[in-house]
Each structure stands twice: as C-alpha cells, then as structure tokens.
Amino acid sequence: MKRHVVLTLMIFLMLCSTASAQKLVLMLDWFPNVDHLPVYLAQESGYFAEQGLDVEIIIPSETSDALKLAAAGQVDLAVSYQPQTIMAADAGLPVKAVAPLVVKPLTTLMFLDQSIKTPADLSGKKIGYTVPGLMDMLLKGFADINGITDYTPVNVGFTILPALVSKQVAAVMGPFKTYETVTMQQQGVEPRFFELERYGIPEYEELIFAAGAATLEKKKEAVHGFVLALSKALADIKRDPDNALSLYFDALPEVDKETETKAFALTAAYFAAPGQVSDPEKWQAFIDFSLKYGLIKNTLSPRDLIYTRDNNN
C-alpha cells in the first residue's frame, strides 16, 4: 500500500514539473548529428529539466530557416553560425548570439577533382553552396581573396555528395571537415578541401545559439537556464566523452553509429568549453572582413550582436 502511494506521488510530482516547465523551441541548422551532441546530452541527462525547461528540438526544412524563424519569434532559439548572424543583423533582423557551440571554423570548400590544386583552379566553374545567405556570401569573399573568377554559384542544400559526384558542381562551399569527410569516405569517395581560415577568411565561431529580440525580452531567464544546462553538458563531454556519445545514441537511436562515432572523434575538440562565451575580438575581425569584401553594408559592434544578461540591449 505504501509503495503504491509513493509511486502515485512520484508520478504526480513529475506531471506537475512538466506542466510548470518553461517551453523553449530550438531549431537546428541541419539534420541531427554530433555537432548537436551537447544539446541532446543536456536533454538526456535532465539538465534542461533541472532548469525548469521543456526544450523541443526541431529540424529545419531549409538550411537557412532557423535564424529567420528565431528573428521572427517563431522559434525561441536557433543553432546558427557566427557569420550568418552578422549578416542577418546587417540586414536588420533582431538576432543575437547567446552562447557558442563550436568555436573554430569547420567549413571548407570541398571538391573531388584531383586536378584542382589552388582555389583559382575553380575559375569558370559551377561552385555549390549549402546555406543560402551565408555560404554563398562566404564563397564570394573567398573567391575575391583567392582569385576565383567567372564562377557560377549553385544552391545544393543538403545534397553535397550527389552534386559533386554527378559533376553538377566542381566544388561546394559549406561541408564540414569533421563530418562530410567521414560520410564520403564511408561511401568510397576521398574528398579534398580548402580550409577557409588558411585562405584568408578570419577565424570565427562555426556554430552558435542565437535568439530573437522577443525571446530575449520575454524568456530571458529561460534562455539563461538553457545556457547553464548546456554548460553542464559540455563539461560532461570533456570528462567522459564515451558516456556522452552513448547518451547521444540513446536520444537518436536511428543515426548511423559508425559515422557519428568517427565524426565525434573529429569534432569534440572544437566544442566550446563549459561556460565559454563568444569572443568579441573574433566577431570584430569577421565584421571588418565582411565590410571589406561586401558581405555586409553597415558597421556593426560585437556588443550589439552578443547577448549577455548584463548587456541586455
């Protein structure tokens, strides 16, 4: 009898906790993969629940959706990119970075043709890109710096490998050196790539969490709780990466474990440290680069793009 009462009380408390939890909707930048492992780890470990949060993770239908929907207040948080956030702010979208996820560039200009030795060898060719409003603009800056002329940009979205294998495009701007390299090698394809930061693009934070003005005004404490939960997950990755990966697989049992395991081994070192905040100097360097090469039109301040509780403007 006592056991029945205790069980009933536990169920009641769980239902009450769920009912009172603050809802946050997070949209990813891409299909779920190990780049997002800290999010799923925080969810599986109960860190969001500890902060009184009910976090719904959703997948975009288009790679550029997340930041736009966050700016419009249709989702609370977006996994996005530092350069995209800068360009969005320049276009007048009310978005700010709330925490870094991956703090080094992973993006490459990827190709299969072994005759390509330098970026200039891509002159006169079709070059794909993955994220409209970001990778096409990075391609423009990269081309200007590295002497790629008369190229034709093509939006290939998620279809990176088919576009390269079919020779629809000669290269693609956007694949990660920590993920697409793994998936291609598993399919018997050996990709080659130019790392952007080695060819004139300033180092930047590859993945960040961004929020729109409405969310930062109405759900400030919930966003802070999300960042705290994420920090605990990042600490867990540093302390016990094998367990972190195991919990990720529990959250997403449908993923290819071989691919994700290999990609995680390459990605883990690039995750933000627990409690790490965005680097204003890194953001300023990319703003200066963007102005110089026409990626943005207006002078921006990192202070206006990086959100902190003490700088709520």
221: closest CA among 309, 282, 311, 150? Answer: 309
For residue 215, what pLDDT band results from cuts at 50, 70 and 90? very high
Q: Report residue 208's pLDDT band, with 50, 70 and 90 as the boundaries.
A: very high
Report pTM: 0.89
Model confidence at 20, in pLDDT bands (50, 70, 90)?
confident
Average pLDDT on 15-24 reads 70
CB 272 within 8 A of CB 105: no
pLDDT band at residue 12 under the 50/70/90 scheme: very low
- % pLDDT > 90, the chain: 87
C-alpha–C-alpha distance, residues 149 and 127, integer Å = 11
| H or E segment to which residue 97 belongs | strand 95-102
Q: What is the pLDDT of residues 66-91, one digit of tens each?
A: 999 999 999 999 999 999 999 999 99
**How many helices (DSSP H) and strands (DSSP E) are in the chain?**
14, 10
Residue 17: is its pLDDT beyond 60? Answer: no
Measured CA distances, 106 to 81, 181, 194, 225, 270 (Å): 11, 11, 11, 27, 9
Residue 179 above 50 pLDDT?
yes
What does the alpha-carbon distance between residue 119 and residue 96 come to, in Å, rounded to a whole number? 33
**Short-list 290, 304, 27, 260, CA closest to 133:** 290
Phi, psi of 78 (to 5 degrees): -130, 135
pLDDT tens digits, 89-99 = 999 999 999 99
The pLDDT-based confidence of 312 (bands split at 50, 70, 90) is: low
Question: Using only C-alpha atoms, what is the Rg of the chain?
Answer: 21
Using CB atoms within 10 A of its CB, is residue 149 exposed (0-12), middle (13-18) or buried (19+)?
Answer: exposed
pLDDT of residue 311: 52
pLDDT at 11: 44
Q: What is the mean pLDDT of the chain?
A: 92
Q: What is the pLDDT of residues 21-57, one digit of tens each?
A: 899 999 999 899 999 999 999 999 999 999 999 999 9
Strands in 192-195's sheet, in edge-to-edge order, are: 152-155, 126-129, 171-176, 107-111, 192-195
